[in-house]
Structure 1
Amino acid sequence: MGTTQRLTSRIPMIGDKTDRKDVVAVVKLHGVINPQPTPLARGVINLATVETALTRAFDHDRLKAVALQINSPGGAPTQSGLIAERIRQLADKKNVPVLAFAEDLAASGGYWLACAADEIFAHRTSLVGSIGVISGGFGFTGLLDRFGVERRLYTAGKNKSRLDPFSPEKPEDVEWLGKLHNQLHEMFVDWVRERRGDRLTSEEELFTGDVWLGAKAQRLGLVDALGSLRDVLAERYPDAEIVFAEPKKPLLARLGIGAPAAALLDAVESRVAWSRFGL
C-alpha cells in the first residue's frame, strides 16, 4: 500500500456509520388532543400533527428506543386511539421498546397515549389517570327568550337535533349521551387493561375518572416507576444520543401571525381543559 492509500484509508468516508452512536428518539406529545388543527394551534395533538414526528422518530438506523414525553389533559377519544395505534404499529415494525414519561399531566386521552408505551414513568408530582369520559356544553334558551330571538330549526329524522344548545334539554337526549359515554368508557378501560395487564391493582379505584400523583399511580399500577426522561434514558442507554422529533408547527404559528380571535378561542378552550386538573 502506497503512502497516499495509507493516508486516505484513515479518512472516514461520507455515509460511514462505524462511528455513529445508537439513538433514542423523543417525541413530544404536549397539549390538548383535538381533531381540529388550527392555523395557530401550538398545543394541539392529533394524528395529522404528530405523524411526521412519529415517522422520523422510528426511522433512525441505530434506534434503541423511542420515548414519549407526554403533557396532556386529554381530549378527543378517536384521535387518542388513532395516535396510540400508530405508535404500536411503528414500534412493532421496528421491534423497539417505547417508554412514556408523564410530565405535569397524563390524564384521560393523555393517559391513553401513555398506554401505547411498554413502560410508563412519572414524576412524583405528575397527575396521572382520569380514566373516564366527559363532555359539556351550554344552554342558551333563556338568553334567546330575553332578547326576543326565535329559534328556527328544520330537520329530517326525529333525533337529528339532539342536545341542541338553543332548545330545551330533553331527558331522552341526556340518556342517549350517557350510553355513548359508557361505551367509550368501556373501550378506554379495555385499552388500559390490555396494555397494563397484571400490573394493575385495586380496580375499584382505577376507572372512576380520578387522577393521582406519581407515587400513588405507581402503587395502582398505572405507571411502572418514578423518574424523569433524562435520568431514565441516561441509566438505560448511557452511550446513546438523545434526539428530539418535533411535530410540525402550522404555517401561521411558525410565522408568528394569525387571527387574534382564533388565537383567543384556542387559548380559552385549552385553558378550560387544563383547569379541570388545577393547572
Structure 2
Amino acid sequence: MSEQNWERALLEKLASEALVEQRRKRRWGIFFKCLGFVYVGVIILSALGLAAPQTLEVTKHTALVQLNGVIASDSLASADRINSSLKAAFESKDSVGVVLRINSPGGSPVQAGLIYDEMKRLRAKYPDKPLYAVVEEVCASGGYYVAAAADKIYVDKASLIGSIGVIMNGFGFTEAMKKVGVERRLITAGDNKAFLDPFTEQNAYQTEFARQMAQEIHKQFIQAVKDGRGERLKSGPDTFSGLVWTGQTGVEMGLADELGSLEGVARDVLKAEEILDYTEQESFAERFAKRVGVQFASGMRSVMPSVGWGEPLFK
C-alpha cells in the first residue's frame, strides 16, 4: 500500500471512530436528559400529591392538627384547612383523641368562629373522642377563641394566652395631604359608602358606628369563651379587656386547664404515644402560585400604594 493510500485509510478510520464516539455521547446525553426529566416529574407529582400513595400501617395513635400563624381565609390557618384536618382526625378509627396544637396571634373573627363551631360539632358527633388544645408560644385573640372550644387547654408556663378583644385600625392622611397640596376627589352614592376613608376628615358618626360594631363582635367573643370554659373560668375585671397573660397565670384564671405539651398529652392523657399529623399541607402548586402572587403584589405595591381601613381582627 502506498504511503498516500495508508494515510487516507488512517484518516478515514479516525473519522469513523470519531463519528461513532460522537453518536455514543449523543445517545448517553439523551438518556441522562430523559432520566433527569423523569426524576423531576416524580418530584413534582409527589409534591402535588399525584404520585401513587404509600401504604402506611396505622395503629392506635394521637391525631394532631396544627394551627400556626394568622387565622385568615387565605392562610394555612384558614377555617377550610383546619376544619378539613379536624374532620379527618376525628373520622380516623385508629385515633384515640385529637390534639389541636396552636401557635397563633389571632386573625379573622369569622374564620376563628367557623373553626370554633366545627370543633363543637365534632365533639358532639364523637363524644368518646376527646379534643384537646395544646398551646406553644402564643394563643392570643382569635387563637384563643378557637382554643376555647376544646375539652381542655394545655399550656406552657411561659405561653402567652388571652387578648380577648377586637381591634379595627387604619390611618388618616388629611393633614399630610394639606401640606403636600393634594386634593381628594371622591364620588359616592350613599352617605356612608366611603366608610372611614383615610383620605377624608374623620366622620364622628362613622367612627361611633365602627366602635359599636367592634363591641358587638367582642360580645360574641366573650360569649364563646364563657360557653367553652364554663365554670372553670374565673372572670375578673380584666379578663375580657384584651390583656395577655402567661400560661401559668392563665391556669390560675381558668383560661387554661393545666401545664402540658403535645408529647405529654399524647403519652399521659390519651395514652397513645404515637402521634400522627393530620394537618392539611400546602401543595407544590399552591406554594408556587403564592410565590408568584407575592412577587406580583410586591411589584404592584411599588407603583400603586394603597392604605385603607382594616377589617375587624382578633389581635
TM-score relative to the length of structure 1: 0.80
Q: Is the 1:25–1:57 Cα contact (8 Å) retained in structure 2?
A: yes
1:75 — aligned with what?
107
2:278 — aligned with what?
245
User: In structure 2, which of residues 74, 78, 88 is the aligned counterpart of residue 56 of structure 1?
Assistant: 88
The answer to whether structure 1 residue 29 and structure 2 residue 79 are counterparts is no
2:304 — aligned with what?
none
Superposition pairs of residues 1-279 of structure 1, within 5 angstroms: 21-35=59-73, 37=74, 44-95=76-127, 96-249=129-282, 251-253=285-287, 257-258=291-292, 259-260=294-295, 262=297
Matched residue type, 2:72: N
- Compare 115-124 and 138-147 and name the one that shifted more: 138-147
Matched residue type, 2:278: A
Q: Is the 2:96–2:272 Cα contact (8 Å) retained in structure 1?
A: no
Give the C-alpha shift of residue 169 in structure 1: 0.9
Distance (Å, rounded) in 1 between the aligned partners of 2:198 and 2:79: 29
Secondary structure of the 1:168 match is coil
Judged with a 3 Å threshold, the aligned counterparts in structure 2 of structure 1 residues 262 and 94 are, in CA distance, closer, same or farther, namely farther
Distance (Å, rounded) in 1 between the aligned partners of 2:227 and 2:243: 20
Distance (Å, rounded) in 2 between the aligned partners of 1:24 and 1:239: 6
Give the C-alpha shift of residue 235 in structure 1: 0.6
Q: If you compute each CA radius of gyration, which structure gives the higher value, 1 or 2?
A: 2
Give the C-alpha shift of residue 245 in structure 1: 1.3
Give the C-alpha shift of residue 68 in structure 1: 0.5
Aligned length: 243
- Compare 210-219 and 86-95 and name the one that shifted more: 86-95
Give the C-alpha shift of residue 26 in structure 1: 0.7
Judged with a 3 Å threshold, the aligned counterparts in structure 2 of structure 1 residues 234 and 262 are, in CA distance, closer, same or farther, namely farther
Judged with a 3 Å threshold, the aligned counterparts in structure 2 of structure 1 residues 260 and 223 are, in CA distance, closer, same or farther, namely same
Distance (Å, rounded) in 2 between the aligned partners of 1:237 and 1:255: 39
Matched residue type, 2:60: D
Q: Is the 2:60–2:272 Cα contact (8 Å) retained in structure 1?
A: yes
**As a proportion of its length, which structure holds more helix?**
2
Q: Is the 1:104–1:125 Cα contact (8 Å) retained in structure 2?
A: yes
Give the C-alpha shift of residue 185 in structure 1: 1.0
Distance (Å, rounded) in 1 between the aligned partners of 2:241 and 2:144: 14
Secondary structure of the 1:203 match is coil
1:269 — aligned with what?
none
Matched residue type, 2:111: Q
Give the C-alpha shift of residue 159 in structure 1: 1.7
Secondary structure of the 2:238 match is helix
Matched residue type, 1:224: D
Give the C-alpha shift of residue 256 in structure 1: 8.0
Matched residue type, 1:49: R
- The alignment's C-alpha RMSD in Å is 2.4
Unaligned stretches of 5+ residues in structure 2: 1-56, 302-313
Judged with a 3 Å threshold, the aligned counterparts in structure 2 of structure 1 residues 188 and 242 are, in CA distance, closer, same or farther, namely same
Give the C-alpha shift of residue 63 in structure 1: 2.2
Q: Is the 2:263–2:273 Cα contact (8 Å) retained in structure 1?
A: no
Matched residue type, 2:108: A
- Compare 140-149 and 99-108 and name the one that shifted more: 140-149
Give the C-alpha shift of residue 156 in structure 1: 1.9
- Compare 202-211 and 247-256 and name the one that shifted more: 247-256
Give the C-alpha shift of residue 207 in structure 1: 0.8
Give the C-alpha shift of residue 261 in structure 1: 5.6
Distance (Å, rounded) in 1 between the aligned partners of 2:265 and 2:82: 24
Judged with a 3 Å threshold, the aligned counterparts in structure 2 of structure 1 residues 231 and 263 are, in CA distance, closer, same or farther, namely farther
Secondary structure of the 2:248 match is helix
Secondary structure of the 1:29 match is strand
Q: Is the 1:105–1:128 Cα contact (8 Å) retained in structure 2?
A: yes
Deviations 1:93-147 (A, max 9, x none): 2222110011111100000010110100100110010011111111122333344
Give the C-alpha shift of residue 79 in structure 1: 0.8
Give the C-alpha shift of residue 197 in structure 1: 0.9
Unaligned stretches of 5+ residues in structure 1: 1-18, 266-275
Secondary structure of the 2:256 match is coil
Q: Is the 1:23–1:60 Cα contact (8 Å) retained in structure 2?
A: no
